[in-house]
Amino acid sequence: MFRKILRLVTSVAMLCLVACFDDNPSDASVVSPESSGTSVVSGESSSSVETIPGSSAGGSAVNSSSSVKTPKNTAACLWNASKGENLVNTGLDPDSTRAAGLWYVFGDDPDGGLTESYNPYNVCDYDDGSEYNCVKAVIEYCGCYCAEFIFRKGTSAEIFGGMGFNVAGIEEPKVSYVLRDGDISDWGGICVTYAADGDVLLRLYTDDDTFYQTEFGKSTEFVEKCVTWDALNAAEASKHASSIYFVMPGADSTKGHLSIAAVGKYDANGACEVDGYAYVLPKKSYNEGIIALRSSSSKQSSSEQSSSSGIAGPCTTPESVSDLWYGPSDIYGYVNTGLDNGSETSGYWFSFGEEEADTYVSWPVMQYEYETSLDPLIEECGGVCGTFKYRDEGATGIGFNVAGEALSGNNGVPDIADVSAWGGLCVTYASETDMDVVMSNDTAFTYIKKMALMPKISLPKSVEVKTVCSKWSDFVSAVETPSDPTRVASILFVAYGEADAANRFKVIGVGKYTDAKNVCKQGADPFVSRQLWPNF
């Protein structure tokens, strides 16, 4: 839908009132093949809302940074992902038959570009191919509408990717892709809550060739920015708008990430109250760099924060102490130990039990023999979860190899790795029974018999999510067989039980040691699956 467009832009200075956010200017301009436009320059706001009200003379920028928070006009909010909403309620598709307000991603390929635009990997893998179900799944996975762009230079003049929605939808869905236009002049402008690791351009389109734009800039946290149609010089154009796009320009062979959490009609105080904060999905996951919206219940304000230990004051989020692996943002199914021996088999979760006692782990998601990791389970649980079961008294548990399988063969037995640089371990978990974290140096699959002799710490049972951080000196081994906890083949989570016992558990995060005494409480029931991809 993007075509080569002649840009004739002249500048009109904007007045920055009260306080400006930073030194990076943003431009609002109308661009069309027929007419010249004007640009409106404003500052970057440090508050949660930046407003850019306009006037017939070109407008002026007002940056909101008052010490007294003015309530937002939530009646003007058209779409709020944190409330589980999927479509932008434009009001121009009352029967929801023309896909108005349905999000989608795009690239520069219509102009000969090679940029690739992706929603999170694996999220839209379902049989019916429904675009609505894809959007719903993306919002449930990220907590917002999120995407990654891999910028590649083609023959187009610009390199860009983006996301957007159609204002009035498609004239004849499933027949021809002809856009309808609609009158959104009564919005007065638009408010957008977003986070991005690069600059973002807001564009109001009236047809394939004509758009009106302003630059919102990048933001490491979700921020709401508002602009009037007057400031875009689009007061008349807003009466026949076809699409609203959020465009991220890029450089060849780089990546960009953009997430949008809410859209509303213009209000100087903002339109949408978004519950959450920006969390960048970590390395060694399919969706590395994607910006998710995480619930603010795990990142409260200083006056409200508390930890499982009862310490008041600012708290540490569990994901921040889970640098090796954090279940809610991992779909690879393995721990990033950084110590793989070249076999590429380190960090994969497995379960074990005692054959004689018939102890085992029962999974809430069926695992198949051909699967090499617990991907479906982690996706469902937001961690590794299941039930420890015992036909007779004994031990069972889960674990992962630190270096991976020995390259010399020996039927897949694990290699030894040196983890002394970690300083210890932080584990975030919930369990209906006590668990031991065992540093196993066994390379012969005999750790069940040797369990009592290996260095370990105990994780007390907790039906609430709990984080325990332990130094290597806290790991204790049997007096008669002292063992070094930093020379380890496997890290095991072991639970002992009586005959006919069954105890639920969930391991959510694993990280290198840090002195975290005040970890934020998690409000949700840890034993309820996340159901990232429900049956649509």
Residue 391, exposed/middle/buried by CB under 10 A (0-12, 13-18, 19+)? middle
Q: Please tell me which residue, 478 or 163, carries the higher pLDDT value.
A: 163
Predicted local confidence at residue 372, as pLDDT: 56
Q: Please tell me which residue, 227 or 131, carries the higher pLDDT value.
A: 227
| pLDDT over 70 percentage in the chain | 77
Q: How far is CA 284 from CA 289, 323, 338, 371, 502, in A?
A: 10, 11, 10, 19, 33
The candidate with the shortest Cα–Cα distance to 299, out of 521, 54, 499, 527, is 521
Judged against a pLDDT cut of 80, whether residue 420 lies above it is answered with yes
The mean per-residue pLDDT over the stretch 316-331 comes to: 86
Predicted local confidence at residue 210, as pLDDT: 93
Judged against a pLDDT cut of 80, whether residue 373 lies above it is answered with no
Residue 187, exposed/middle/buried by CB under 10 A (0-12, 13-18, 19+)? buried
Predicted local confidence at residue 365, as pLDDT: 77
Predicted local confidence at residue 65, as pLDDT: 31
pLDDT one-digit tens code per residue, 443-469: 887 878 888 889 999 999 998 899 999
Residue 27 — pLDDT band, cuts 50, 70, 90? very low
DSSP string, 497-515: E-TT-EEEEEEEEEEE---
Predicted local confidence at residue 43, as pLDDT: 28
Judged against a pLDDT cut of 80, whether residue 239 lies above it is answered with yes
Q: Which two tokens stand for residue 147?
A: 């995407």
- For the ranges 127-131, 409-413, 463-467, 520-524, which has the lowest average pLDDT? 127-131
Residue 523 — pLDDT band, cuts 50, 70, 90? low
Q: How far is CA 15 from CA 42, 87, 108, 162, 259, in A?
A: 8, 35, 34, 30, 29
- For the ranges 10-24, 407-421, 433-447, 495-509, which has the lowest average pLDDT? 10-24
Judged against a pLDDT cut of 60, whether residue 5 lies above it is answered with no
The mean per-residue pLDDT over the stretch 321-325 comes to: 92
| Per-chain mean pLDDT for the chain | 79
Q: Which CATH topology does 318-512 take?
A: Jelly Rolls (2.60.120)
Most confident of 33-37, 303-307, 438-442, 528-532: 438-442
Strand partners, 312: 306
Rg, Å, the chain Cα set: 27
Judged against a pLDDT cut of 80, whether residue 406 lies above it is answered with yes
Predicted local confidence at residue 301, as pLDDT: 34
Phi and psi, residue 442, nearest 5°: -75, 130
Alpha helices in 282-327 (DSSP H): none
* Contact call for residues 529 and 364 (beta carbons, < 8 A): yes
Judged against a pLDDT cut of 70, whether residue 83 lies above it is answered with yes
Judged against a pLDDT cut of 60, whether residue 505 lies above it is answered with yes
Predicted local confidence at residue 317, as pLDDT: 84
Judged against a pLDDT cut of 60, whether residue 2 lies above it is answered with no
Judged against a pLDDT cut of 60, whether residue 114 lies above it is answered with yes
Judged against a pLDDT cut of 90, whether residue 85 lies above it is answered with yes
The mean per-residue pLDDT over the stretch 20-25 comes to: 33
The mean per-residue pLDDT over the stretch 156-163 comes to: 93
Judged against a pLDDT cut of 80, whether residue 487 lies above it is answered with yes
Residue 364 — pLDDT band, cuts 50, 70, 90? confident
Judged against a pLDDT cut of 60, whether residue 307 lies above it is answered with no
What are the extents of the domains in the chain? 79-220+236-294, 318-512
Judged against a pLDDT cut of 50, whether residue 298 lies above it is answered with no
* Contact call for residues 248 and 259 (beta carbons, < 8 A): no
Residue 126 — pLDDT band, cuts 50, 70, 90? low
Q: Please tell me which residue, 514 or 407, carries the higher pLDDT value.
A: 514
Predicted local confidence at residue 66, as pLDDT: 33
